[in-house]
Structure 1
Amino acid sequence: MDVKEEYKRKLLDIEGVLNRIKSFDNVVVALGASQPVSFLSNLHLIKDRVQGVNIISCLLLKEYEFYKYIDRENAPFTLESWYLGNFERALYKQGKATYIPNNLHAASTDKIQSKHVNVFVGTATPMDRNGYFSLSLGLVYEKDMVENADIVILEVNENTPKTFGDTHVHISEVDYVFESKEPIIEVPSVEATEVEKRIGEFISELIEDGSTIQLGIGGIPNAISKFLEGKKDLGIHTEMMTEGMVDLIEKGIVTNTKKNLFKGKTVAAFVMGTKKLYDYVDENISVEIHRGKFVNDPYVVSQNEKMVSINTSLAVDLTGQVCSESFGFEQYTGTGGQLDMHRGAVMSKGGKGIIAMRSSVKNDTISTIVPMLPLESFITIPRQDVDYIVTEYGIAHLRGKNLRERALELINIAHPNFRDYLSSEAKKMNLI
């Protein structure tokens, strides 16, 4: 096989790619920084000839023209998402988009079983001399879609980093390619607030030398990174690799030498951040990107001893129920890999599942620790799975504790303005 000739036969321009999209197709696009920017930027051009093209996404990161033509009925496009980013959330609030409940490790397999995938559009590096592309920054569901979609289209972008692990795809597995020079979308780090720094300091007390960690994105994870500088031989096994992790590696805090799985390697399911991060992972054999159904499988996660999962939440009630994805019935983000990683960490020998949260919001007028979650809330971590809850006022260790003990520990780390109220409500509920 002459791979260069095969590439030429499959090479299209953007018009040719768009012509492959038909009415009522289910079209999956790659996640986050791997999203096919050129394809999505031009998708609106087919609005007058199609109906009901269903876009299945996760963390869209740009304002695309096709958003204007999304609706539930009789529209050129519909949209469903595994995790609501800012743009998907806005469409959801307008009633134009919908959410796919999922645990990240099962997102791809559940979707493939429930809905026929007509087209997958992903982003890849230029082909090498042996005919292989790298899917670059994401494998949450992308490789599974390559193997199961009717039509596989790759947006070949010379700006994408070449990553290792399970990212390779051969030209024989691809139906069409088109070329792009779009800059990779950057997501800058969020500076930690003073409250988040206090939370980060408490969490750092729970992380032992030799632990393997999973961190999310945002002010609290960034704050945690700053307080890990005295730690030794940490490892990384995470769904999302972020810029803060590069800092920990470059300072010698993360060595990955104590991990049970992929010793010496940083393992992630996707990468999202800034150019500094993208440059770091480019052709870096110490970083491996693997499928979400592997990286986030709780039984895989648990094989790393001293596994520590650190995620954030919107609210927790006095029994330990954690809501991290909605305000009442209004979907705000998604479960993502939170429950996967939390369960894996708790099952790990010496592991810890940590939920970090501010004790209050809106200038200390609303407590995030509540007597009971509103009836319409969606539970992200059931109370029987919860382990540690951390606020700027301290640490509550709930695993194995009875309801009375849980309520007292949570009241103790609540904002002082609400402790009397929470105690009063807890007594009414016969919790204390």
Structure 2
Amino acid sequence: MSVLELVEADFRAPTLIASVENTKPPATVVDSAEQLVDQVIKAVGKNIVLGAPLAIGKPISFVNAMYQRAKADPTINLRIETGITLEKPVGKSKIERNFLEPFVAREFDGVPDIDYILDLRAGKVPSNITISEFFFKAGSFMNSPQQQNYTSTNYTHAVRDLLDKGVNVIAQLVAKRTVNDVTTYSLCSNSDLALDLIPEMDKLKAQGMPLAVVGEVNTNMPFMRNHAEVANTEFDFILDGNSKPDHKDYSLFAAPHGSISAEDHLIGLYACSLLKDGGTLQVGIGSLSSALTYSTLVRHQNNRMYNSMLSDLNIYNKFPVCKSVGDSGKFDEGLYGCSELMVDGFMHLYKAGILKREVFEDLTIQTLINKKAISTDVSLATIRALLEHGAINETLTTDDVTYLKRFGIFKPYIKLVDGNIIAQQETASANLSATDTLEWLEKHALGEKLIGGVVIHGAFFIGPKDFYDDLNNLTDDDHRKFCMTSVNYVNDLYDHMLGNQQIKQAQRKHARFVNSGMMVTLDGSVISDALENGQVVSGVGGQYNFVAQSHQMRDSRSIIKIRATTFRNGKLKSNILFNYGHNTIPRQLRDIVITEYGIADLRGKPDHVVYTELIKIADSRFQQQLLADAKAAGKVAKDYQIPKEYANNTPEAIQQFYKKYTDQGLFGPFPFGCSFTDQELKLGKALKTLKAKTATTSGKIKAIANALQGPKLDHNTEILLKRIGLNKPASFEEKITQKLLIAELTK
């Protein structure tokens, strides 16, 4: 429920920060970033610890102005605490830069650079400034001094850590709306930390600590309601340049549509088989998330073909966990999303009528719905069930009427006066034991549908441009169902100011917490954030929280998706390993692991089963070595052999299955749209293939030898080479590179 609805209603919903009874003064509004920096320094001094949210929630105008002020004034000590600093892609080589520059100019038009990240890359951050992150954009700081400034923490502990680090300024991008002269702001893409941080900052302010809470308005940011909508008193300062006649808010960073490989589609298909109709879904980001979304849509919209695919994979015989844990039918009851990251896939599921299971901020109502004692359709049965379970009194009180109106069980104009229920001009006794009262309620008082139901709770969002457009175009009814909220509410089951553990557990029935990993060891430990030498690839984020949470609810499962193989230093390697020097998820929390070759059900299993189940879903080129290592360690019986039905885990088998269904119009690399032109797709594929082939010295020699004997330059290939400035090579190296690309482009 939004702040505006609270103002207009005669009851109080359990929103917290967005309280109309707040006694704090309204924010000071300024129209320039420089002026805001002056105000913040005046408020907190020159020792500034700035907390900024991850991804698109960073207030770039303010952050850049503060950074540049500190660069110019060495008496300012600035530390920026944040996560996932987004960057426009920049090629390492001349060819990569030539390929990317037109694409970046088109896709990121109007998106400003973040000054501190440019200086980090160039090694130009002055000594009075430190940038520390708790989550890197995946792979962005490998072999970088920035590894030294990484803070390893669970997402749910980020607020605690920011406070421990002495953060005295928090700032984020917000949206603004004014209705009936009431101005509110939305935490939009990043309600994740602010909903918990602001009350803590208020407590510290009350103790006399100089602190500042800052919002930067951007009209391109989708205005999200419910928990994300807060009063203007929650901020000390608001930067809003829209009063200036020539001002134009910058564009949001939008993630381009990525491609989905055949292997990723298979992983998504296997993961989809574990989803339960009427259940709960958490997903991560990237192509593996998109692949799961796609298969879920196929299951609902083309169920016959979906089941044909499962039959071809012999999924129920090979992986019986699908039958005991999952479903294969359409989503009649639908899914509820409880996801740290709200990706565009949830919007696709919502439009398709899959993301439709509504949850409610009331334990009695949610429990009765789970038991199917009531539905979202309001009837006298709703009243009887609430009465039977003690949610309302037999003789209705004012609180009862408020409660019934809050959830749409009573129409909004119903009142209780002197022991009578009044509906406009009609009146009846408030005693529910009277038959006449129940008949009167059915005729005059009952609403049609429960209200206040939410189909997704998310903590932050980022996605492609069309996702932002969809969010900006939500109707009022849609808005009520999308709730951006605290990451502590989403990622944990513990009691929270927005809902206690009992409500969360009731809402999250049949939860499937789906995340991605890099590698898994045969004992079931998962590696998702860093390498064994300590180098951090990304971060823990919320993965550990979701895995731990899944073990707290009997009907919930943690699902980790991992590609079976990868190229490291030019050599093909298995991502299923015998052992590794680091893990993100320990073996005692092992559950379900999926590769493109199938599903390993590990929870509660003895080690010999865990080891063999993971070997069954490894690439066959590595299975025998993994088995030998397991036997040598005494973890698998000496006479164990891999069953033949699991011994054909090859790329060729994947491609055979994939082609059968792409020929029928399914799958494909870009089912949700493509950000690249046809030219860019051809060039990108050739460059990627060539990079893999020449990653080793022997591979480079072989590729050059083949290219020198390859086809000559034709007109169509010349046009492609011109796009990356290689149609007229100037050096020997460019001539060789041209030959290599011609060989790839003319295949």
TM-score for the superposition, normalised by structure 1: 0.90
Gaps of 5+ in 1: none
1:78 aligns with 2:116: no
Could you say if the C-alpha distance between residues 221 and 74 of structure 1 is closer, same or farther in structure 2, counting changes exceeding 3 Å?
closer
Residue aligning to 2:589: 385
Could you say if the C-alpha distance between residues 208 and 127 of structure 1 is closer, same or farther in structure 2, counting changes exceeding 3 Å?
closer
1:58 aligns with 2:126: no
Per-residue CA deviation, residues 251-286 of structure 1 (Å, 9 max, x unaligned), is 112212478598442111111112322233345221
Residue aligning to 1:131: 183
Note the C-alpha offset of 1:342: 2.0
Distance 1:39 1:234 in 2: 39
1:15 aligns with 2:34: yes
Distance 1:53 1:92 in 2: 24
Note the C-alpha offset of 1:110: 3.5
Per-residue CA deviation, residues 356-399 of structure 1 (Å, 9 max, x unaligned), is 0101101871111111112xx2x221111111000011110000
Matching residue within 145, 153, 169 for 2:197 = 145
Could you say if the C-alpha distance between residues 298 and 370 of structure 1 is closer, same or farther in structure 2, counting changes exceeding 3 Å?
farther
Whether the aligned pair in 1 keeps the contact of 2:517 and 2:562 (CA below 8 Å) is yes
Give matches, 1:214-229, under 5 Å.
214-229=282-297
Note the C-alpha offset of 1:7: 6.6
Per-residue CA deviation, residues 395-429 of structure 1 (Å, 9 max, x unaligned), is 10000011111111111111111111111111222
Whether the aligned pair in 2 keeps the contact of 1:166 and 1:289 (CA below 8 Å) is yes
1:409 aligns with 2:613: yes
What residue identity is the alignment partner of 1:126?
K
Give matches, 1:187-336, under 5 Å.
187-229=255-297, 230=300, 231-232=330-331, 233-257=334-358, 263-282=453-472, 284-299=479-494, 300=501, 302-303=505-506, 304-328=508-532, 329-336=534-541
1:365 aligns with 2:563: no
Could you say if the C-alpha distance between residues 117 and 91 of structure 1 is closer, same or farther in structure 2, counting changes exceeding 3 Å?
farther
- Per mean C-alpha deviation after superposition, the further-off stretch among 70-79 and 27-36 is 70-79
Could you say if the C-alpha distance between residues 152 and 258 of structure 1 is closer, same or farther in structure 2, counting changes exceeding 3 Å?
closer
Whether the aligned pair in 2 keeps the contact of 1:281 and 1:287 (CA below 8 Å) is no
Distance 1:7 1:204 in 2: 48
Note the C-alpha offset of 1:92: 7.3
What residue identity is the alignment partner of 1:26?
V
- Per mean C-alpha deviation after superposition, the further-off stretch among 398-407 and 343-352 is 343-352
Matching residue within 59, 63, 72 for 1:48 = 72
Residue aligning to 1:26: 49
SS at 2:628 equivalent: helix
What residue identity is the alignment partner of 1:366?
K
SS at 2:357 equivalent: coil
Distance 2:146 2:236 in 1: 34
Could you say if the C-alpha distance between residues 355 and 124 of structure 1 is closer, same or farther in structure 2, counting changes exceeding 3 Å?
same
- Per mean C-alpha deviation after superposition, the further-off stretch among 210-219 and 161-170 is 161-170
Distance 2:186 2:114 in 1: 25
- Per mean C-alpha deviation after superposition, the further-off stretch among 239-248 and 146-155 is 146-155
Residue aligning to 1:344: 549
Could you say if the C-alpha distance between residues 91 and 67 of structure 1 is closer, same or farther in structure 2, counting changes exceeding 3 Å?
farther
Distance 2:177 2:353 in 1: 34
Could you say if the C-alpha distance between residues 190 and 345 of structure 1 is closer, same or farther in structure 2, counting changes exceeding 3 Å?
farther
Note the C-alpha offset of 1:106: 2.4
- Per mean C-alpha deviation after superposition, the further-off stretch among 380-389 and 339-348 is 339-348
Aligned residues: 424
Could you say if the C-alpha distance between residues 352 and 203 of structure 1 is closer, same or farther in structure 2, counting changes exceeding 3 Å?
same
Distance 2:28 2:162 in 1: 31
Could you say if the C-alpha distance between residues 341 and 124 of structure 1 is closer, same or farther in structure 2, counting changes exceeding 3 Å?
same
Distance 1:138 1:73 in 2: 27
- Per mean C-alpha deviation after superposition, the further-off stretch among 264-273 and 89-98 is 89-98
Higher strand share: 1
Whether the aligned pair in 2 keeps the contact of 1:72 and 1:96 (CA below 8 Å) is no
Distance 2:124 2:555 in 1: 47
Could you say if the C-alpha distance between residues 98 and 32 of structure 1 is closer, same or farther in structure 2, counting changes exceeding 3 Å?
same
Residue aligning to 1:37: 60
Note the C-alpha offset of 1:250: 0.5
Distance 2:551 2:147 in 1: 38
1:159 aligns with 2:220: yes
Note the C-alpha offset of 1:83: 0.9
What residue identity is the alignment partner of 1:173?
E
Whether the aligned pair in 2 keeps the contact of 1:140 and 1:293 (CA below 8 Å) is yes
Distance 1:189 1:311 in 2: 19
What residue identity is the alignment partner of 2:149?
T
What residue identity is the alignment partner of 1:371?
F
- Per mean C-alpha deviation after superposition, the further-off stretch among 276-285 and 197-206 is 276-285
Residue aligning to 2:604: 400
Note the C-alpha offset of 1:91: 8.1
Distance 2:537 2:124 in 1: 19
What residue identity is the alignment partner of 2:483?
E
Higher helix share: 2
- Matched-pair identity in %: 24
Distance 1:191 1:244 in 2: 14
SS at 1:100 equivalent: coil
Note the C-alpha offset of 1:100: 1.9
Could you say if the C-alpha distance between residues 91 and 132 of structure 1 is closer, same or farther in structure 2, counting changes exceeding 3 Å?
farther
Could you say if the C-alpha distance between residues 96 and 222 of structure 1 is closer, same or farther in structure 2, counting changes exceeding 3 Å?
closer
Could you say if the C-alpha distance between residues 183 and 95 of structure 1 is closer, same or farther in structure 2, counting changes exceeding 3 Å?
closer
Distance 1:96 1:345 in 2: 31
Distance 2:158 2:27 in 1: 33
Per-residue CA deviation, residues 146-189 of structure 1 (Å, 9 max, x unaligned), is 33441011111122211122223322232211125121221133
Distance 2:571 2:269 in 1: 21
Matching residue within 151, 163, 169 for 1:119 = 169
Note the C-alpha offset of 1:320: 0.7
Q: Which has the larger radius of gyration?
A: 2
Distance 2:563 2:463 in 1: 23
Per-residue CA deviation, residues 269-308 of structure 1 (Å, 9 max, x unaligned), is 1111123222333452210011111111145564411000
Distance 2:86 2:626 in 1: 39
Could you say if the C-alpha distance between residues 278 and 159 of structure 1 is closer, same or farther in structure 2, counting changes exceeding 3 Å?
same
Could you say if the C-alpha distance between residues 302 and 323 of structure 1 is closer, same or farther in structure 2, counting changes exceeding 3 Å?
farther
Distance 1:213 1:147 in 2: 29
What residue identity is the alignment partner of 1:222?
S
- Per mean C-alpha deviation after superposition, the further-off stretch among 191-200 and 347-356 is 347-356
What residue identity is the alignment partner of 2:580?
L
Note the C-alpha offset of 1:23: 4.0
